[in-house]
Amino acid sequence: MSITDHDDIEASLLLRGLDAFRNIPVSVEWTIPVGVGFFHIGVHNLPPKLSVEIMSELAQYTSSPESGGLVDLLAMLNELPGVLLVLNHPLWDIEFAGAEQHTRSLSAFMLAHGKWIHALEVNGYRPWRENEAVLRMAEEVGLPVVSGGDRHACRPNAVLNLTTAGTFSEFVSEVRQDGRSEILLMPEYSQPLAARQMEGAAEFLCFYPQYPCGQQKWTDRVFFYTDERGVLPLSLYAPNHWKDGGPRWLRHTLRVVSLLGNRRFRPAMRLAWFLLAPNEEMVVLLKRTAGKDTRLDWEAPTTILNTRPGLVIGTVENMSPEQEECR
């Protein structure tokens, strides 16, 4: 498992201080500003002894991209044999620049820096249609794909990598040197994305008495900036300025999110998704090997299922009883 917080490696370093997690990779999701937008690079498995120094250099570029040096940073990371560089959710217009502008920025970025990238990401919190387009992009640029959970709460990953590697460094070698990666989509991925996102938001709002003091309430996990004291948790502000748990609009919003994110509400969310969402194809196992066509299979002939009841997209031949039941 590789944890990649945005532009911060503190979590990895803290976990490595615990005996059970002493071998966990030091990793980060690095923000690279590009024009009016930005891209996220998963930088996995930094050398622990150099990680703080390297993170400082990466953060410096993020805050001051006009200073240059991106090529040098990517080249430096590429020279570290145990490091894996993954272009995360490459087709997501996360900056809301518009699809056309995002595509131009992505093309320019890959043209200038693609040789330093080792893999593209299939993301557990992006729609299948977008992930399928990432598979096509990976085929075009000759890169393998790896999994990225991208969940921000307590749910397990909906997308996993399968490997026989004994260490993360061995896994990196499989991807970097052999261009080999096997991705498993868990049953959770077939659930409506909006429902899973709501569940994550509801989990974020929960009270966790088992957490250390200062991390138990949701207001402990929201921060704001002050000129006098820097970055502070909202919990230091709320008791003195909020009555009855905050403004009425906020209280109502929190209640609605908690309701929609309740797992008992999922059937209603799923029904709404079936009625309103565009068609979303689903597969069970994706296999990608460099130099070969992407294969979609279920330990049987290729099966692409549409998650709306009664609809099947693609050619389905010789379906097993299990596949027929799923259909």
Question: CATH number for the domain including 40?
Answer: 3.20.20
Distances (CA, A) of 259 to 133, 206, 253, 268, 277: 33, 12, 10, 11, 21
pLDDT at site 95: 87
Q: Give domain status of residue 284, yes or no.
A: no
Q: Does residue 111 share a domain with residue 236?
A: no
Q: How many residues does the chain have?
A: 327
pLDDT at site 282: 45
> Closest Cα to residue 38, out of 120, 95, 98, 113?
95
Q: Does residue 120 share a domain with residue 42?
A: yes
Q: Give domain status of residue 285, yes or no.
A: no
Q: Does residue 212 share a domain with residue 111?
A: no
Q: Give domain status of residue 53, yes or no.
A: yes
Q: Does residue 176 share a domain with residue 32?
A: yes
Q: Does residue 218 share a domain with residue 180?
A: no
Residue 225 lies in domain: 194-276
pLDDT at site 231: 85
- Asked whether 114 and 39 are in contact (CB, 8 A), the reply is no
Q: Does residue 83 share a domain with residue 120?
A: yes
Q: Does residue 219 share a domain with residue 73?
A: no
Q: Give domain status of residue 106, yes or no.
A: yes
Q: Does residue 213 share a domain with residue 253?
A: yes
Q: Give domain status of residue 1, yes or no.
A: no
**Residue 144 zone, left/alpha/beta (φ > 0; ψ -120 to 50; rest):** beta
Domain count, the chain: 3
Q: Does residue 180 share a domain with residue 43?
A: yes
Q: Does residue 301 share a domain with residue 207?
A: no
Residue type for position 114:
G
Q: Per-residue pLDDT for the chain (327 aa), expressed as one digit of tens each?
A: 899 999 999 999 999 999 999 999 999 999 999 987 899 999 999 999 999 999 999 999 999 998 889 999 999 999 999 999 999 999 999 988 888 999 999 999 999 999 999 999 999 999 999 999 999 999 999 999 999 988 888 888 899 999 999 999 999 999 999 999 999 999 888 888 888 888 999 999 999 999 888 889 999 988 888 888 888 899 888 877 887 778 889 889 999 999 888 888 878 877 777 776 654 444 444 444 444 444 333 333 333 333 233 323 333 344 455 545 444
Burial pattern 231-268, b for ≥16 Cβ within 10 A else e, equals: eebbbbebeeeeeeeeeeeeeeebeebbebbeeebbee
Q: Give domain status of residue 219, yes or no.
A: yes
Q: For strand 84-87 and strand 119-123, is the pairing parallel, antiparallel, or unpaired?
A: parallel
pLDDT at site 307: 29
Q: Give domain status of residue 98, yes or no.
A: yes
Q: Give domain status of residue 36, yes or no.
A: yes
Q: Does residue 297 share a domain with residue 225?
A: no
Burial pattern 131-158, b for ≥16 Cβ within 10 A else e, equals: bbebbebbbeeebbbbbbbbbeeebebb
Q: Does residue 120 share a domain with residue 27?
A: yes
